[in-house]
Amino acid sequence: MKIAVIAMGKIGLPLAVQFASKGHEVVGVDVNEQIVDSVNKGIEPFPGEAELQDRLSELVAAGKLRATTDYADAVPGADAVVIVVPLFVNDETWQPDFGWMDAATRSLAETLTPGTLVSYETTLPVGTTRNRWVPLIEEVSGLKEGTDFHAVFSPERVLTGRVFKDLRAYPKLIGGLSDEGTELARKFYEAVLDFDERPDLPQPNGVWDLGSAEASELAKLAETTYRDVNIGLANQFARFADKNGIDVYKVIDASNSQPYSHIHRPGIAVGGHCIPVYPRLYLFNDPDATVVRAAREANAEMPNYAVDLTAAGLGGSLANTTVAVLGASYRGGVKETAFSGVFATVAALRERGATVVVHDPMYSDEELAKFGWDAYTLGDSVDAAIIQADHAEYKTLTPAELPGARVLVDGRNVTDPAAWQTVTRIVIGA
């Protein structure tokens, strides 16, 4: 097959590599010329994805994968076009911004030829594939869905850093607008993916048809929103436990010892492209979902709560103090700040009069400065520190690396309590 992948980001590029590794001809499209040039040189543009560099260099050299900024170079004659363009959500209004997706869909439609399967993998509000993208494609291309082309929704379900592993581990969900489109999607994904044996699943691992594009859209929103709601519940348990001198971690472990409880862990923030964003996409269609809204609001408040704990540990005031925020990334081991708790944590500290410095082993001082932060070097004197990301380097952290610190708020519960006997160590919920 000839396959076009629209957007060569941290999900799109590994997908293109996976498709090409199955013997197909893949052309990636991206508006960023630097990414395109990097891909065509066989160099991964964003290091950190397992297996990506080795696969990429091999496939580019073999002529199986290339990239372009020109839709007209990639889309015409393609058997399938997979779209993984980012969909943004306004942080204040919680409304989706369809701008990039609209532009990509229009450019795709301008170059679309009959007989193509169009698969959206970007997470979307329910009904978007059928009611927004398909009419736009039909209007611009003059082609008819179900006759000249077929559209499906098939959500990506992977984490950056482990995309290839996750592609094998999880069922590939599809939802078409017609039986024929669904069957084309099933055959397509069976031809480009491999699946691990999963005896724990109710049906064999592989391509799962959910019956409609809407069901497939909802499945992705449901699985991610569940996690946000679960973490929100854990965070509220933790705050109650703090007020009552209870170790919530012992409570959670005890509760989860029977098979009907699956409480997640509390923490300073829920970040990344997925978990803090997709509940808002769900609320776009279901604004009266009070449980979803309350959990999102509870989780968004946790950085401020961690700052409250820091202030309390220092006697109530942060004025004229220096506080180090450890971890700019939204989670450990990933060089990515999307919706990271670092932003709200830094803002809350500054509002209370603290001088804030930021450390992250994955970022240089110059990179941190671009965010408007003063970089912190372990070993420099501070009054307190807050662990925001669970980088492996922080697990062995000791007071000697934070000289002068009277308080450590471990927002991820990663440090060794025995190493912090001389410093007030505060863990959310413990």
Active-site residue, selected from the candidate residues 187, 220, 243, 335: 220
For residues 108 and 105, give the distance between their C-alpha atoms in angstroms, rounded to a whole number: 5
For residues 46 and 133, give the distance between their C-alpha atoms in angstroms, rounded to a whole number: 29
Distances 182 to 81, 98, 151, 302 between C-alpha atoms, Å = 15, 25, 8, 42
Phi/psi at 119 (5° precision): -120, 120
For residues 353 and 312, give the distance between their C-alpha atoms in angstroms, rounded to a whole number: 14
Phi/psi at 32 (5° precision): -90, 110
- Amino acid 8 reads M
Contacts of 350 (CB under 8 A, 6+ apart): 356
Q: Which long-range contacts (CB under 8 A, 24 or more apart) does 250-258 make?
A: none
For residues 257 and 49, give the distance between their C-alpha atoms in angstroms, rounded to a whole number: 34
Over its C-alpha atoms, the chain yields an Rg (Å, rounded) of 23
The strand pair at 207-209 and 322-326 is best described as unpaired
- At 316, is the secondary structure helix, strand, or coil? coil
CB 430: neighbour CB atoms within 10 A? 17
Cross-strand partners of 116: 149
Residue 274 a catalytic site member? yes
Active-site residue, selected from the candidate residues 41, 274, 335, 370: 274
Half-sphere exposure of 162 (CA within 13 A, CB side): 10
Burial of 387 per CB tally in 10 Å (0-12, 13-18, 19+): buried
By annotation, the residues acting in catalysis are 220, 274
